[in-house]
Amino acid sequence: MNEYVLEVNDVVKRYLDFTLDKVSFKVPKGSIVGLIGENGAGKSTTINIALDLVRKEQGTVTVLGQEIPNEAHHWKEDVGVVFDGINFHEALTPLEIGKILSSGYKQWDDKVYQNYLAKFQLAQNKRIKDFSKGMKTKLCIAAALSHDPKLLILDEATSGLDPVMRDDMLDVFLDFVQDENHSILMSSHITTDLEKVADYIVLIHQGKIILSQSKDELIYNYGIIRCGAALFEALDKSEILAYRKCDFQWEVLVADKAKFKKQYRDAVIDNASIDDILLLYVKGEQAK
Partner 1 sequence: MKSLILKDLYNIGHHSRSMLLMLLIFGVIFLPTNGLISYVIMCCVMCSMMIVTTFAFDENAKWTKYAVIMPVSKNQIVLSKFIVLLIFTVIGTLVGSIVGGIGGALIQVFDYARLEDWINLITTSGIGLVIAFFFGSIVIPLLYKYGAEKARVLSLVAFVLPVVACVGLYKVLLTLGFVFSDRLVFTGMMLSPVLVLIWSIFMYKISCKIFGQQEF
Does 51 participate in binding partner 1 (rule CB under 8 A)? yes
Whether residue 69 is preceded by a cis peptide bond, meaning omega within 30 degrees of 0, is yes
Q: What is the distance in angstroms between the CA of the first residue and the CA of the last residue of the chain?
A: 39
Minimum distance from CB of 184 to partner 1 (Å)? 16
- Specify the residue, 105 or 264, whose C-beta has the smaller distance to partner 1: 105
Report phi then psi at 224, rounded to 5. Answer: -120, 120
Which of the stretches 20-28, 29-37, 49-57, 118-126 binds partner 1 when contact is defined by CB under 8 A?
Answer: 49-57
Dist CA 33 CA 186 (whole Å): 6
- Specify the residue, 88 or 260, whose C-beta has the smaller distance to partner 1: 88
**Interacting residues of 82 by C-beta distance below 8 A, sequence separation 6+:** 137, 140, 141, 144, 152, 153, 154, 155, 157
Pairing of strands 240-245, 223-227: unpaired
Say if CB 55 and CB 12 are below 8 A apart.
Answer: no
Rg (C-alpha) for the chain, rounded Å, is 21
Sites for partner 1 among residues 69-128 (CB under 8 A)? 71, 73-74, 76-77, 79, 81, 83, 85-92, 96, 99-106
Does 29 participate in binding partner 1 (rule CB under 8 A)? no
Q: Is the dihedral of CA 197, 203, 209, 214 positive or negative?
A: negative
- Specify the residue, 48 or 213, whose C-beta has the smaller distance to partner 1: 48
- Specify the residue, 3 or 71, whose C-beta has the smaller distance to partner 1: 71
Report phi then psi at 125, rounded to 5. Answer: -105, 10
Dist CA 79 CA 126 (whole Å): 27
Sites for partner 1 among residues 196-255 (CB under 8 A)? none
Minimum distance from CB of 16 to partner 1 (Å)? 14
Does 25 participate in binding partner 1 (rule CB under 8 A)? no
Query: Which of 9, 48, 115, 206 touches partner 1 by CB under 8 A?
Result: 48
- Specify the residue, 113 or 232, whose C-beta has the smaller distance to partner 1: 113
Does 54 participate in binding partner 1 (rule CB under 8 A)? yes
- Specify the residue, 104 or 228, whose C-beta has the smaller distance to partner 1: 104
Binding site for partner 1 (CB under 8 A): 48, 51-55, 71, 73-74, 76-77, 79, 81, 83, 85-92, 96, 99-106
